[in-house]
Amino acid sequence: RKEVEQDPGPFNVPEGATVAFNCTYSNSASQSFFWYRQDCRKEPKLLMSVYSSGNEDGRFTAQLNRASQYISLLIRDSKLSDSATYLCVVNGRGSTLGRLYFGRGTQLTVWP
Amino acid sequence: NAGVTQTPKFRVLKTGQSMTLLCAQDMNHEYMYWYRQDPGMGLRLIHYSVGEGTTAKGEVPDGYNVSRLKKQNFLLGLESAAPSQTSVYFCASSYPPSREGWNYDTQYFGPGTRLTVL
């Protein structure tokens, strides 16, 4: 089983739509959770960290459900500039401490 | 701060040639990483380092070697390049994970090196 699983999409939504991405992780001891964004042919960049109580940054809301080992990202009022691949990221613990595990990414295209 | 830089940005090699990719960071991060990214495969960890003078194997280490002689630099070497090593290579760095705080170990990536092996 992969450490992080996420729906690859693609998601194609119109401007202004609300879209949600989900991912699951396998290591119940993981303590760090992130969403990264990767534009075509560019490096991954941190979009937001995910905290246990859930957190919001403008149009973006991240949720963590530790019992179900599930992370979500909600994007409201989608913009054309939100088109990218979104990577779910979880850290390793124990023997894999210091490593981050990346999902394969969910591709989003926002159309006018 | 320049953050994480990588050289070169592009390279074409012939099978059997060798080369070294250089990663440098100016954020005083302890941890550094080398990944490769192929279509449909996501990011795969090649090697990583938790401090100067230390290295460890990741998920796909075969055919690669690394060195971390200075804290700010992490070198990735291909001794005898193969077409299967055609990929985009990303370097990243981070602080170590914190026992107390979450999300301390955010990784920051360099712009990548596009390598083609013919």
Interval A62-87 mean pLDDT: 96
Confidence of residue A100 (pLDDT cuts 50, 70, 90): confident
pLDDT for residue B21:
97
By C-alpha distance, which of B7, B24, B13 is closest to B108?
B24
> What is the reported pLDDT for A95?
61
Taking only residues 9 to 48 of chain A, the set having a beta carbon closer than 8 angstroms to any beta carbon of chain B reads: 31-34, 42-46
Contact (CB<8Å) A33/B41: no
Structure tokens at B31: 């941890």
Q: What is the pLDDT of residue A8?
A: 84
Q: What's residue B56's pLDDT?
A: 92
Q: Find the farthest-apart pair of alpha carbons in chain A and give their distance in angstroms, rounded.
A: 47
Q: Which of A52, A87, A97 sits opposite B97 (nearest CB)?
A: A97
- CB nearest B97 (choices: A87, A98, A105): A98
Parallel/antiparallel/unpaired status of strands B87-94 and B113-117? antiparallel
Residue B3: is its pLDDT beyond 80?
Answer: yes
What pLDDT is recorded for position B10?
A: 96
pLDDT higher than 80, residue A94: no
Residue-level pLDDT at B32:
95
Chains A & B: contacts with CB separation below 8 Å: 57
CB contact under 8 A, A98 and B106: no
> How much of chain B exceeds pLDDT 90, in percent?
81
User: For the residues B88-93, what does the mean pLDDT come to?
Assistant: 97
pLDDT class of B96 with cuts at 50, 70, 90: confident
| Tens-digit pLDDT profile for residues A5-56 | 998 889 999 999 999 999 999 988 888 899 999 999 899 999 998 988 889 9
Q: Mean per-residue pLDDT for B61-75?
A: 96
Kindly identify which residue of chain B lies nearest to residue A96, measuring between CA atoms: B58
DSSP summary character for residue A98: T
Cross-chain CB nearest to A31 (options B45, B58, B97): B97
Task: For an interface test with B, give the residue of A30, A38, A43 to mutate (most B CBs within 10 A).
Answer: A43
Closest CA–CA distance from residue B50 to any residue of chain A (Å): 7
Q: Residue B116 above 70 pLDDT?
A: yes
Q: Tell me how close the Cα of A76 comes to any Cα of chain B, in angstroms.
A: 24
CA distance to partner chain A, nearest, from residue B100 (Å):
10
Report the pLDDT value the prediction gives residue B64, as an integer from 0 to 100: 97
Q: Give the mean pLDDT of B9-38.
A: 95
Q: Mind giving me the DSSP string for B11-51?
A: EEE-TT--EEEEEEESS--SEEEEEEEETTTEEEEEEEEEE
Q: Is the pLDDT of residue B99 over 60?
A: no
**What mean pLDDT comes out for the span B92-110?**
79
